[in-house]
Structure 1
Amino acid sequence: LGQLSTPYALENGGWSSIFLLVGLGVICAYTSHVMGKCLKQSPKSRNYQDIGELAFGGKGRFVAAFFIYSEIFLALVSYTISLGDNLATIFHNKHIYITWMNISTRHLLTIMAVFISLPSLWLRDFSSISFLSSGGIIMSLMIFATVSWTAISWGAKANHRIPALQLQNIPGISGLYMFSYAGHVVFPDIYRAMKDPSKFTK
């Protein structure tokens, strides 16, 4: 998901669809900058719901809450599906049995992984686990290095031509591109967890 799905989206949308990815990035960067200013001007605001209420009243709070919680739920569903697929691939020949549970190894591994990560959802201050963000950076570098090494050492070549634009696929790949910026939803929490929130917009 995110970085891993971007090449697939580019292949299906055509080279011109890269402008959609860049455009979404510009929109997310601009809105995060505006959000930082809103939180700075209203110290009592702590999340998107507070900003929505400040701008449009009670209806704004409801609409903001609906979209935020929908995004969080759907993102968790996507990550859980991806987690199950990858764990099943990693432990392809492994079989785990629990006598009193009629459940497959894949589902059991997914449930275990979810329960391991579940406590992090209860944290109010993300600064205590900020060191984990370095893991994401390391994983991104590993992905880049792996793909580069594969292309260089194995001489990977394109076996088909990617068209300039496939307009009929744009609605489908838009979701894949937008998923690359799914972290936008936690920006208010990151802002509040910073030692110096004034640096958020810099």
Structure 2
Amino acid sequence: MPVGTARTCMNGLNALSGVGLLTVPYALSEGGWVSLALLAAVAAACWYTGILLCRCMDADDAIRTYPDIGERAFGRTGRLLVSAFTYVELYLVATGFLILEGDNLDKLFPGARVTLGTVSLAGKRLFVVLVALVVAPTTWLRSLGVLAYVSATGVFASVVIVLSVLWAAAVDGVGFSGRGTTTPLRIAGLPTALGLYIFCYGGHPMFPTLYASMKRKSQFPKVYPYTHAH
């Protein structure tokens, strides 16, 4: 695999795989095992729209983002609408991640507190601020090639999560025989499950940028099997 394609795969995996590992278990508990069909449908839809995305961007070299596609299709109004939906989605996804990190770190380090003068932060609020400060510099990187190395740490973290679960099951005595309480299908939980499955692909808006950054754009369709079939 060419280096540029490998970097694009790394960025795509970082955007999708970690989210899926964190949300799919709860989605299954809400919708049941049959709800995995919804996950497959969402993945297929994102895969297909990704192929259409390549065709749209190949049609005009000036197209580099989703708003550009919206303007090409529906004029200035289309650009404004697509921009609004894209930025709102990215903002809410980032907010969701900060809340998730704050909750998890608060459970790992209960009672943490930092006081600077008259300002005191503790618990979830403290970790949300700390995570935001750590992540913020990565948003200033201009090269997606450099960002790929940052993304590699996210992929590594996803591998660690999987290995930790396997360790807990095989070594710590949890085992693999537990059936749990999840029923094959829970109709009432399907909307929640569907929302979480869609959240797994919340990084999809970044794919136009990934495509535009590739030197060998013809290799982009080969990225989807690695990123969308995780």
| TM-score, with structure 2 as normaliser | 0.80
Per-residue CA deviation, residues 131-170 of structure 1 (Å, 9 max, x unaligned), is 1221122122111111122222312543544222111111
Partner of 2:198 in structure 1?
178
* Partner Cα distance (2:125, 2:33) in 1: 37
> What SS does structure 2 have at the residue aligned with 1:110?
helix
| Identity %, equivalent residues | 33
Unaligned runs of 5+ residues in structure 2 are 1-18, 223-230
Alignment of 1:48-87 (within 5 A): 48-87=66-105
Please say if residues 96 and 105 of structure 1, whose CA atoms lie closer than 8 Å, have aligned partners that are also in contact: no
Question: Residues of 1 paired with 2:166 and 2:141: CA distance?
Answer: 37
CA contact (8 A) 2:113 2:121 kept: no
Partner residue in 1 for 2:183: 163
Q: How far apart are the structure 1 equivalents of 2:31 and 2:125?
A: 33
Unmatched segments (≥5 aa) in structure 1: none
Tell me how far apart the structure 2 counterparts of residues 122 and 14 of structure 1 sit (CA, whole Å).
Answer: 41
- For residues 108 and 93 of structure 1, do their structure 2 counterparts lie closer, same or farther at Cα, with a shift above 3 Å needed? closer
CA contact (8 A) 1:84 1:110 kept: yes
**CA-based RMSD:** 1.8
The reply on whether 1:33 has 2:51 as its aligned counterpart is: yes
Equivalent runs, 1:141-156 vs 2, <5 Å: 141-153=159-171, 154=173, 155-156=175-176
**Offset at 1:5?**
1.6
Which has the larger displacement, 170-179 or 18-27?
A: 170-179
Structure 2 residue aligned with 1:9? 27
Q: CA deviation at 1:195?
A: 2.4
Mapped to 1, the partners of 2:143 and 2:92 lie a distance apart of 23
Range with bigger deviation, 83-92 or 6-15: 83-92
- Code of the residue aligned with 1:146 in structure 2: it is S
State the distance in 2 between where 1:105 and 1:160 align.
31
Cα shift at 1:113: 2.3
Aligned residue number for residue 207 of structure 2 = 187
Q: Does 1:196 align with 2:195?
A: no
- Paired position in structure 1 for 2:39: 21
Matched-pair contact (CA < 8 Å) for 1:97–1:105? no
Contact map agreement 2:111 2:122 (CA 8 A) in 1: no
Q: How far is 1:182 from its partner? A: 1.3
In structure 1, C-alpha distance between the alignment counterparts of 2:220 and 2:121, rounded to whole Å? 46
Greater CA drift, 4-13 or 102-111:
102-111
User: 1:11·1:162 contact (CA, 8 Å) conserved in 2?
Assistant: yes
State the alpha-carbon separation in 1 of the partners of residues 53 and 215 from structure 2: 17
* C-alpha separation in 1, matches of 2:34 and 2:123: 42
Name the SS for the 1:45 alignment partner. Answer: coil
Q: Secondary structure at the match of 1:69?
A: helix
Name the CA distance, whole Å, in 2 between partners of 1:124 and 1:48: 19
Mapped to 2, the partners of 1:174 and 1:132 lie a distance apart of: 29
- Residue pair 1:127, 1:194 contacting (<8 A) in 2 also: no
- Taking a change above 3 Å as real, the CA distance of residues 116 and 143 of structure 1, as seen in their structure-2 partners, is closer
